[in-house]
């Protein structure tokens, strides 16, 4: 796809993987729309992107990804403001190391990190375990979405970005925050694989769904199980109130 002047909506676009992809696609001329919980951080990030790339087409939406009601409001606002969505990048996420519920009664790590409700099995609660489960659910969901999109011309991909600078451990105990700071010193600031999957023409004919940061397609039979994918899809629809999807 020629990404120039295409509309790209990026969740989690104010830091980490999302911000790295936003910068990369802005350099290629995309119209970046950042979805952020903070209006100030959204504005600040767009200013940084414009200064770094010369691309001043960026806009932002405000939403709390852990709340279904907020997501729906942002979706309606997007439809009012934009004619089309060409690329959606789901990069939003966080780790909560104590068990918290959203105002809608869903465990916050799973609500925020994409559909992890289906495989929550940690007791007592583990923040890292919950996040790993939520991210596995995200990949399973992507495989199922890709199956449902076959023949439509729309592609769905999941990817491992490699070690990217982020503030993912901001809610962690001090010793994990310290490890996160050390990791950030070794981490890179760009996310080539995310930009590649969003913009490269050759992925139009890609047969795989999951890619590593070296553009190598990877297979995970356990995550590709069709029955598991269908069950996750059904439960996700139920949890998000399918009558409103």
CATH of the domain at 95: 3.40.50.720
Residue 2 lies in a domain: no
From the number of C-beta atoms within 10 Å of its C-beta (0-12, 13-18, 19+), residue 71 rates as middle
- Name 90's Cβ contacts closer than 8 Å, sequence gap at least 6: 11, 12, 114, 138
Greater confidence (184 vs 142) lies with 142
Residue 124 lies in a domain: yes
DSSP label at residue 202:
G
Asked if the peptide bond before residue 124 counts as cis, ω within 30 degrees of 0, the response is yes
Residue 1 lies in a domain: no
| Residue in 160, 179, 157 with CA at minimum distance from that of residue 168 | 179
Model confidence at 45: pLDDT above 90: yes
Q: CA–CA separation, 74 vs 85, rounded Å?
A: 13
Give the pLDDT band of residue 90 (cuts 50, 70, 90): confident
Three-class DSSP category at 204: helix
Work out how many domains the chain is built from and give that number.
Answer: 1
Q: What is the mean pLDDT of residues 30-42?
A: 93
Where in the sequence is the domain holding 85, given as residue range(s)? 7-244
| Residue in 245, 240, 244 with CA at minimum distance from that of residue 66 | 240
In this structure, of 53-67, 99-113, 196-210, the range with the lowest mean pLDDT score is 99-113
Model confidence at 64: pLDDT above 80: yes
Q: How far apart are the first and last CA of the chain?
A: 28
Q: What is the per-residue pLDDT for 133?
A: 54
Q: What is the per-residue pLDDT for 100?
A: 54
Q: What is the per-residue pLDDT for 72?
A: 82
Q: Residue 107's beta-bridge partner residues?
A: 101
CA 238 to chain centroid: 21
Q: CA–CA separation, 209 vs 139, rounded Å?
A: 9
Mean pLDDT of the chain: 76
Model confidence at 18: pLDDT above 50: yes
Helices (H) and strands (E) in the chain, counts: 8, 7
| Residue in 134, 61, 63, 65 with CA at minimum distance from that of residue 102 | 65
CB atoms within 10 A of CB 172: 18
CB 25 within 8 A of CB 3: yes
Greater confidence (221 vs 197) lies with 197
- Name 235's Cβ contacts closer than 8 Å, sequence gap at least 6: 117, 118
Predicted TM-score (pTM) of this structure: 0.75
pLDDT digits (tens, 9 = 90+) for 107-139: 544 445 544 333 333 233 334 444 445 567 778
């Amino acid at each position: 796809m020629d990404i120039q002047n295409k509309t790209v909506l990026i969740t989690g676009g104010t830091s980490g993987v999302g911000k790295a992809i936003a910068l990369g696609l802005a350099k290629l001329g995309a119209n970046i729309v950042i979805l952020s919980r903070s209006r100030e951080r959204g504005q600040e990030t767009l200013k940084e992107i414009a200064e770094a790339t010369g691309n001043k087409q960026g806009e932002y939406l405000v939403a709390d990804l852990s709340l279904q009601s907020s997501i729906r409001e942002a979706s309606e606002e997007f439809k009012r403001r934009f004619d089309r969505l060409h690329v959606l990048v789901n990069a939003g996420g966080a780790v909560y190391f104590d068990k918290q519920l959203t105002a809608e009664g869903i465990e916050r790590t799973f609500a925020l990190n994409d559909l992890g409700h289906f495989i929550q099995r940690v007791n007592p609660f583990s923040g890292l375990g919950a996040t790993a489960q939520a991210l596995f659910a995200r990949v399973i969901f992507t495989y199922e979405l890709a199956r449902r999109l076959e023949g439509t011309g729309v592609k769905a991909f999941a990817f491992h970005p490699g070690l990217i600078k982020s503030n993912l451990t901001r809610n962690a105990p001090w010793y994990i925050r310290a490890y996160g700071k050390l990791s950030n010193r070794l981490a890179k600031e760009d996310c080539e694989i995310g930009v590649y999957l969003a913009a490269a023409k050759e992925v139009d004919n890609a047969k795989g769904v999951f890619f590593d940061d070296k553009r190598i397609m990877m297979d995970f039979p356990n995550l590709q199980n069709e029955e598991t994918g269908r069950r996750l899809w059904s439960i996700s629809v139920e949890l998000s109130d399918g009558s409103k999807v």
